[in-house]
Amino acid sequence: MIVVGSAFDGLSWAGREGALASALAVLDLLKAGRRTFQTAVVVIPLLMTLLLMFIQMHYGISPLQSIPLATISALTYLLGACGVWSRVIIYRMDRRVTQVMGRPVIDGIFEGDRRDRTQSRGVRRAVLVMFSPSVSRRVKRLNASAPSDAAPHQ
């Protein structure tokens, strides 16, 4: 079952089609890649912790002195991992939607994303910049991966 909010009513027909196609593609991709991401989120912080323990022992740093460093390192890693992962998912979603629904649908999604980026301010804008590639980069990436018979639309 798919549940949509009141904002869905304000979308054009192409916007509705694009929103549904994106949602289904992302759900499918997240389900397929969840194990890899979960493994990375567990293994890399574990390795960072071991490295930090080695540094503490080698240089004689007390654990209390290293808590700020460990916290900053963990948060930086987590933000970076989420940023990379979200970009991978977005690029894959673009390809999947194009394969299943056709290029006009993804072009509608790109147009909506352009509007959203220009209208966003503050924290929302920062999150978009950090976790979502620009529309021009997405178009270039999609055109590079598209078969030669699919003419790019812009």
Q: Of 90, 101, 113, which Cα lies nearest the Cα of 29?
A: 90
Residue 11: pLDDT band (50, 70, 90) is confident
pTM of the model: 0.65
Q: Of 36, 70, 35, which Cα lies nearest the Cα of 50?
A: 70
**Does the pLDDT value for residue 137 go beyond 90?**
yes
CA angle, residues 27, 11, 21, in degrees to nearest 5: 25
Residue 4: pLDDT band (50, 70, 90) is low
The per-residue pLDDT for 151 is 43
